[in-house]
Amino acid sequence: MIKILAIETSCDETAISLLEAEGDLKGEPKFKVIENLISSQIEMHRPFGGVVPNIAKREHIKNLPILLNSLQTKNLKLETVDLIAVTVGPGLEPALWAGINFAEDLAKKHNIPLIGVNHLEGHIYSFLLSQNSINHKLKTINYPAIALLVSGGHTILIKMDSLTKWKKIGETQDDAVGEAFDKVARILDLPYPGGPEIERIAKNSKLKTENYIDFPRPMIHQKNYNFSFSGLKTAVLYYLRDNPKINKADVAASFQKAAIDVLTKKTFRAVEEFNAKSVILAGGVAANYALRENLQNKADENNINFLCPEFEFNTDNASMIGASAYINYLSLKNKKPKKQNMENNVIGKYKMEANSNLNL
Ligand code: KG4
Ligand code: ZN
């Protein structure tokens, strides 16, 4: 068993976690989250309708020592930590550096190994986390699995042959789906972040599904695994311009359904083509209950497993960074460390092992 201190500052959440990890890649690694601390900056960024990178950086620098302090007053003794993990990208560069500098200082000062983690890998592994139980029974992942990663910055489909062997098979050609939720929310005068707001007001729609506004489902019939969401957002904009008196809840519900239809259709087209045995959902948009439900139903129909993180691990957190670090640590132990392609991890000077299986 090893103890990991993980740090995540890629966007607008300052997050530090302490977790224990055990097991190897032959079985399934197991995690016990001891603390999962998140200091959200949403209120700071809300007046700007999105995240302002330099405000994010300032807040991370302010909040990281506060969170670490609160860990130290609870469970954490730094001399018991075996590994420090930090997100090295993708994300907002000034925000990332706040976390990296902090992690690097800690690692040097206490002589603890440091490992760089790809934020998206963190999201994918978040389904492995479970609060406070190292022996929890995971739903089995049968391979090949198709992973759908949906966040504010990415919409990606991945084919996984094992926990560490995977390949990107498609991604959005323009906006990420979370970004589309955020933009449509702004069009509807709803506060940032828009995803939870759209989901909340969509529930007030009295329309039957068959009477929803017929928004486009971009690329749904194309036989590839790519997505496009900017046309859907524009369609909502024009619809509101032409129908200013429309009930916002009906627009939200119809937009949400269109987005979910495309995500589900493409995911299950991949399931069919690759004869997948499991579907994994991850990223901030995975918090959307309607999306989870739709994928779960479809997985049941296909008699395959559907796995997604517990609710608190959907949006950005540091526990997922710790989980990913452990898996990378296990695979690094098995092979000679190789030079990593850091292009998408924003780090030029930094020589951490950001072992990105995603090759993003
Ligand atoms: O993964 P995440 O926390 O940060 C990024 O790495 O981007 O994802 C944030 C995104 C935002 O676009 C937010 O609006 C969206 O996830 N989101 C949701 C919901 N909760 C968060 N989208 C739809 N429904 C939700 N319930
Ligand atoms: Zn994220």
205-264 residue pLDDT tens: 999 999 999 999 999 999 999 999 999 999 999 999 999 999 999 999 999 999 999 999
Residue 353: per-residue pLDDT: 41
Mean pLDDT of 138-165: 91
Q: Which atom of ligand 1 is nearest to the CA of 192?
A: 14
Residue 139: per-residue pLDDT: 64
Calculate how far, in angstroms, residue 288's C-alpha sits from the geometric centre of ligand 2: 14
Q: Which residues surround ligand 2, an ion (CB under 5 A)?
A: 151, 316
Mean pLDDT of 108-117: 90
Residue 345: per-residue pLDDT: 33
What is the rounded average pLDDT for all residues in the chain? 89
Residues in CB range of 272: below 8 A, 6 or more apart = none
pLDDT in tens, 181-191: 999 999 999 99
Closest C-alpha among 343, 348, 349 to residue 118: 343
Calculate how far, in angstroms, residue 211's C-alpha sits from the geometric centre of ligand 2: 34
Calculate how far, in angstroms, residue 162's C-alpha sits from the geometric centre of ligand 2: 22
- Asked if 346 and 87 touch (Cβ cutoff 8 Å), the reply is no
The structure tokens 């997922």 sit at: 320
Residue 333: per-residue pLDDT: 73
Residue 321: per-residue pLDDT: 97
Question: Residue 360 pLDDT > 80, yes or no?
Answer: no
What are the pocket residues of ligand 1 if the criterion is a CB atom closer than 6 Å to any ligand atom? 11, 151-153, 178-179, 181-182, 193-196, 199, 283-285, 287-288, 315-316
**Structure confidence at residue 306 as a pLDDT band (50, 70, 90):** very high
Question: Residue 50 pLDDT > 90, yes or no?
Answer: no
Ligand 1 atom 3 nearest Cα: 315
Task: Report the relative pairing of strands 2-8 and 13-22 from DSSP bridges.
Answer: antiparallel
Calculate how far, in angstroms, residue 215's C-alpha sits from the geometric centre of ligand 2: 27
Calculate how far, in angstroms, residue 284's C-alpha sits from the geometric centre of ligand 2: 6
**Structure confidence at residue 335 as a pLDDT band (50, 70, 90):** low
* Angle value at C-alpha 19, between 114 and 128, nearest 5 degrees: 105
Backbone phi, psi, residue 30, to 5°: -120, 145
Mean pLDDT of 152-171: 93
Calculate how far, in angstroms, residue 11's C-alpha sits from the geometric centre of ligand 2: 8
Q: Which atom of ligand 1 is nearest to the CA of 119?
A: 6
Residue 137: per-residue pLDDT: 53
Q: Which atom of ligand 1 is nearest to the CA of 316?
A: 3
* Angle value at C-alpha 348, between 342 and 352, nearest 5 degrees: 60
Alpha helices in the chain (DSSP H): 42-45, 53-73, 93-110, 119-125, 177-187, 194-202, 230-242, 248-274, 289-301, 319-334
Mean pLDDT of 298-317: 93
Residue 181: per-residue pLDDT: 97
Calculate how far, in angstroms, residue 285's C-alpha sits from the geometric centre of ligand 1: 4
**Residue to probe by mutation, ligand 1, list 9, 199, 285, most atoms within 8 Å of CB:** 285
Residue 106: per-residue pLDDT: 94
pLDDT in tens, 114-146: 989 999 999 999 999 975 555 455 667 899 999
Calculate how far, in angstroms, residue 125's C-alpha sits from the geometric centre of ligand 2: 12
What is the number of other CB atoms lying within 10 angstroms of the CB of residue 48? 10
Residue 337: per-residue pLDDT: 44
Q: Which atom of ligand 1 is nearest to the CA of 10?
A: 6
Residue 169: per-residue pLDDT: 96
Mean pLDDT of 351-357: 42
Ligand 1 atom 1 nearest Cα: 284
Q: Which atom of ligand 1 is nearest to the CA of 179?
A: 12
- The ligand minimizing its distance to the Cα of 12 is 1
Residues in CB range of 292: below 8 A, 6 or more apart = 281, 286, 308
Q: Which atom of ligand 1 is nearest to the CA of 91?
A: 6
Question: Residue 63 pLDDT > 50, yes or no?
Answer: yes
**Residue to probe by mutation, ligand 1, list 10, 96, 181, most atoms within 8 Å of CB:** 181
For the chain, percent of residues with pLDDT exceeding 90: 72
Residue 182: per-residue pLDDT: 95
Question: Residue 197 pLDDT > 80, yes or no?
Answer: yes
Higher pLDDT, 25 or 304: 304
